[in-house]
Amino acid sequence: MDVVFIENLVIETVIGIYGWERKIKQKVAFDIEMSTDIRPAAATDTIDEALDYKAVAKRIISFVENSDFQLVETMAERVAEIIIKEFGVKKVKLKLSKPAAVSGSDAVGVMIERGEAS
């Protein structure tokens, strides 16, 4: 299986469990790997046969900007569900980072894999 990826997709949203976090927007960053067969797109050289990473990114941006989850775990699950259900991806690997959430670290977050085994 081939992989189409989106790296370091940074989005501002309400995320967190603390009162002060519920009042501001914070940055989250996504690294996403989507398993798909790229051969039909390569054979026709048309976007109609491809997994449109721009469409995926726009959908994720819209969803995340309008969300207000408390946990990165919940956000990661919902984004993975959207990618699988709406874009027909067989398997998704997703890393969701919350930069500067813990003093002394660049980022914290979760990494998940959802969908069919390859």
Domain ranges in the chain?
2-115
Euclidean distance between CA atoms 34 and 65, whole angstroms: 21
End-to-end CA distance of the chain: 7
Give pLDDT, residue 24: 94
Q: What's the pLDDT score for residue 35?
A: 97
Residue 70 contacts by C-beta under 8 Å, 6 or more apart in sequence?
15, 16, 17
Q: What is the band of 95 on the pLDDT scale with cuts at 50, 70, 90?
A: very high
Predicted TM-score (pTM) of the model is 0.94
* DSSP 8-state symbol, 19: G
Active site residue ranges: 98
Tell me, what DSSP letter sits at residue 33? E
> Domain 2-115, what fold?
GTP Cyclohydrolase I, domain 2 (3.30.1130)
Model pLDDT for residues 32-68, shown as the tens digit of each residue = 999 999 999 999 999 999 999 999 999 999 999 999 9
**Exposed e or buried b per residue across 13-22, where buried means at least 16 C-beta atoms within 10 angstroms of its C-beta:** bbbbeeeebe
